[in-house]
Homo-oligomer: A and B are copies of this chain.
């Protein structure tokens, strides 16, 4: 009954549409998330129309999960707040990097509430990490104005699969007590022992022709070349959307 502990990413969905009342309830869950100073500096763009979706799905490389009936793009958004300030004789100073960070935090906490409530309502969800890869194109497609940057995407629908829970590193891998206790080589070996040798890993090594799982990440999935290119794309997007004016 505790949705948090039964979460798995769903990438295959039935044709069934998500009812409007459910969508409203799910979005209301998002709005209850903590937000800096109650500013609510985020927006959620809900896209279901098949024409709108076609271009958006391509931004996510048409991965199977994009076939979900509902796609929600979570955006850091100071546009609304800035407009309110300007209409209320106040001069907003939120065109800088910290404003982006504050707004991105708001957007991400809301996204997790939305995801959990969607699961509470019997839907399956999947985060699309590809949002940052093509943020510039998503901005064009969704017509995001200055002060708005897409940060993550969640697709949802009725699941047509129920995969196993994904393995996680032991708790000690991510938790530190009092202060950070840096990892010794022995710690790393112990923490990753299970993941390094499990059947899924052996399958990936074979598929990718690699010696270690880490190489699958560095050489195939998340290469330095791609990460550097996306870093520069993102910094450029932040500049264009008005979040890099870091001088008084």
Contacts and interface: CB of A to CB of B under 8 A. Distances in A.
Contact of A89 (B75, B183, B214): B214
Given A109-B112, A215-B89, A228-B247, A31 B129 contact: no
A142 interface: yes
Interface of A: 2, 4-5, 7, 9, 24, 27-34, 36-40, 42-49, 52, 75, 77, 79-81, 83-85, 87-94, 96-99, 101-102, 104-105, 108-113, 115-117, 120, 126-127, 129, 132, 141-145, 148, 151-152, 166-169, 171, 173-180, 182-183, 185, 188-189, 191-192, 196, 211-215, 217-219, 221-225, 227-228, 230-232, 234-235, 246-248
B175 A227 contact: no
A180 B145 contact: yes
A45 B179 contact: yes
A101 to B, nearest CB: 6
Contacts of A81: 217
B246 A180 contact: no
Given A90-B218, A93-B223, A178-B48, A84 B188 contact: yes
Oligomeric state, in copies: 2
A212 B120 contact: no
Contacts of A52: 178-179
A36 B177 CA distance: 24
Nearest to A36: B129
A7 to B, nearest CB: 5
A98 B134 CA distance: 12
B49 A34 contact: no
Q: Which 4 residue pairs are nearest across A and B when measured between Cβ atoms?
A: A93-B224, A90-B214, A88-B214, A112-B112
